[in-house]
């Protein structure tokens, strides 16, 4: 990735030893610092939670800031773009500042910016504070994964990843439930204020467990950094704003796409064999890591696409209040947490990790396919039960996939690999949200046109339908009533199509799993050849 400045005229021709992230325990790891584990899981939980907890509160912010639906999306976009740009730089920042200094800076900055978000007085101030929240929060997830893997001995990585997975995979599902409750009972501002006590608590727990280290004099690859920021920032902007701006009918979206493609291509071509690139692209030469990264990206499409569409389905179409709509996520979150614990502590020692991941994908699809047959009359448990089946899949998927992906990654590259892994998971989520938003608009229009074609004087079902509502085909209210019902049915069919799409994408990940090398031992992380 990066290296120290060479000293002397001959320094450029010799490679210095790579900068190692400081180990948590030297030389033994028999004692795992529980306080540190709790701290890093809490911070990772907070960072992921803030992606989804705000969604439910957006309608309330819309009125508070007198913003349009188009403008209010910047509250989400600003956070996600800032996090996406900074996240892959975690390895560089960790080598430069040290894990301890970077972790403390990130927790303090995230907590402070959360407080400022809660005090925001207009849309402009909220967007600025959300940008800061994304910048400081971005390193928390990859740092947490690197720290927790370093803290546990190799044979206990299943347990470590199960604990870490509670924050990563449960937080986005629990976010709407918590956000809905806080918004309904208290105020939308509490979805930000809740980060303050948790952030302070995590900071106190983390103190004293990470070794201090002087800052390193690292030569920064400024060109690579600039290309990375352009590529990731432009891509995230296109994904977030594409649907709002009618995709490629917008010159801004076209320009963003061109920038993302060319800067991304330049970044990879320039840095592929460059030893001091801002990100060590040699990580992508590891078969398990690249296959696992592609799999987690595709699963991000599935998981975040589902999370984005469910509040729309339950609140806008079925008319659920925010708190009740949020509780629909709780059963899936609880089942995911339980399955994660069982997978990390027991199943990974009994089965090939690839088969566990495959089982997780099948369960996720089995829980999603029934949603493609939902109707406007589906009840609470009719929605929650398939979600619980999909939750089993989430619990089976995350731990063995992550462990297999990182099985050949050396300890000193954990932070860097975790940053790239988390970035691609986030990009997958952004793709999922963008695609389901586009599908909802497109398919609802398609189904509306198809349904209206059946509204003719020869349709014998129209008269009984109107009669049940005390109307006749000649009543002035008959036309609007028919349009309203057709619109509801068209949206229901569009949601059915989206659930089909999510299930198919989930099953399409399975071939990627078997591109990974088979573990040599019946344990979570195979021994290296």
pLDDT digits (tens, 9 = 90+) for 114-132: 999 989 888 888 888 988 9
Report the C-alpha gap between 270 and 117 in whole angstroms.
39
Residue 221 token pair: 């690859």
Counting DSSP H helices and E strands in the chain, the numbers are 22, 2
Bridge partner residues of 219 (DSSP): 3
Confidence of residue 215 (pLDDT cuts 50, 70, 90): low
The vertex-262 CA angle with 260 and 264, nearest 5°, equals 60
Nearest to residue 203, comparing CAs of 77, 21, 35, 424? 35
Q: What is the pLDDT of residues 45-65, one digit of tens each?
A: 877 777 777 777 777 787 778
Confidence at residue 414, expressed as pLDDT on a 0 to 100 scale:
72
DSSP 249: G
Q: What is the pLDDT of residues 196-214, one digit of tens each?
A: 888 888 888 777 666 666 6
In three-state secondary structure terms, 4 is strand
Of 168 and 514, the structure prediction assigns the larger pLDDT to 514
Bridge partner residues of 4 (DSSP): 218
Of 305 and 358, the structure prediction assigns the larger pLDDT to 358
Q: Can you tell me the mean pLDDT for 420-441?
A: 82
Residue 369 token pair: 């396919």
Residue length of the chain: 529
* CB of 405 closer than 8 Å to CB of 421: yes
* CB of 145 closer than 8 Å to CB of 136: no
Confidence at residue 184, expressed as pLDDT on a 0 to 100 scale:
75
CA 274 to chain centre: 30
Residue 314 token pair: 């339950």
**CB-based burial, 427-440: b 16+ in 10 Å, e otherwise:** bbbbbbbbbbbebb
Q: How far is CA 171 from CA 52, 145, 164, 355, in A?
A: 8, 15, 11, 25
Domains of the chain and any CATH numbers = 27-211+278-444+492-513 (1.20.1250.20), 222-277 (no CATH)
Of 437 and 274, the structure prediction assigns the larger pLDDT to 437
Query: Which helix (DSSP H) or strand (DSSP E) does residue 389 occupy?
Result: helix 380-405
* CB of 276 closer than 8 Å to CB of 1: yes
């Amino acid at each position: 990735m990066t290296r120290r400045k060479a000293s002397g005229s001959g320094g450029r021709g010799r490679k210095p030893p790579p900068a190692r992230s400081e180990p948590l325990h030297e030389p033994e790891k028999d004692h795992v610092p529980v306080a540190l584990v709790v701290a890093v899981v809490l911070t990772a939980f907070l960072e992921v939670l803030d992606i989804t907890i705000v969604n439910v509160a957006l309608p309330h912010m819309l009125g508070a800031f007198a913003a349009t639906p188009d403008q209010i999306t910047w509250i989400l976009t600003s956070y996600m773009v800032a996090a996406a740009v900074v996240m892959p730089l975690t390895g560089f920042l960790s080598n430069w500042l040290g894990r301890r200094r970077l972790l403390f800076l990130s927790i303090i900055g995230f907590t402070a910016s959360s407080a400022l978000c809660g005090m925001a007085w207009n849309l402009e101030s909220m967007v600025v504070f959300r940008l800061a929240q994304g910048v400081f929060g971005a390193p928390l997830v990859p740092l947490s994964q690197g720290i927790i893997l370093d803290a546990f001995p190799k044979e206990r990585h299943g347990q470590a990843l199960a604990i870490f997975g509670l924050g990563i995979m449960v937080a986005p599902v629990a976010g709407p439930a918590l956000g809905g409750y806080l918004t309904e009972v208290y105020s939308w501002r509490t979805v930000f204020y809740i980060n303050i006590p948790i952030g302070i608590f995590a900071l106190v727990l983390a103190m004293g467990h990470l070794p201090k280290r002087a800052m390193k004099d690292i030569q920064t690859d400024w060109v690579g950094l600039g290309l990375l920021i352009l590529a990731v920032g432009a891509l995230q902007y296109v994904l977030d704003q594409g649907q709002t701006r009618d995709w490629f009918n917008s010159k801004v979206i076209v320009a963003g796409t061109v920038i993302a493609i060319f800067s991304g291509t330049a970044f990879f071509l320039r840095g592929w064999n460059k030893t001091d690139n801002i990100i060590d692209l040699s990580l992508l030469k590891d078969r398990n890591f690249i296959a696992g990264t592609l799999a987690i990206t595709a699963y991000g499409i599935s998981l975040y696409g589902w999370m984005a569409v469910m509040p729309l389905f339950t609140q806008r179409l079925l008319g659920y209040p925010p708190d009740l709509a949020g509780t629909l996520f709780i059963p899936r979150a609880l089942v995911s947490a339980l399955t994660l614990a069982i997978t990390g502590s027991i199943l990974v020692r009994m089965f090939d990790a690839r088969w566990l991941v495959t089982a997780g994908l099948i369960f996720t699809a089995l829980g999603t396919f029934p949603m493609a047959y939902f109707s406007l009359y589906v009840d609470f448990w009719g929605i929650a039960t398939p979600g619980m089946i999909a939750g089993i899949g989430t619990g089976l998927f995350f731990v063995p996939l992550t462990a297999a992906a990182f099985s050949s990654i050396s300890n000193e590259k954990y932070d860097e690999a975790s940053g790239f892994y988390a970035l691609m998971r986030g990009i997958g989520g952004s793709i999922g949200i963008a695609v389901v938003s586009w599908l909802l608009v497109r398919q609802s229009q398609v189904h509306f046109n198809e349904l209206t074609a059946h509204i003719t004087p020869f349709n014998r079902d129209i008269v009984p339908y109107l009669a049940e509502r005390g109307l006749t085909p000649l009543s002035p209210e008959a036309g609007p009533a028919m349009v309203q019902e057709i619109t509801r049915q068209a949206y229901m069919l569009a949601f059915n199509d989206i659930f089909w799409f999510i299930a198919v994408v989930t099953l399409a990940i399975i071939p990627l799993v078997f591109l990974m090398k088979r573990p040599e031992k019946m344990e979570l992380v195979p021994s290296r050849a």
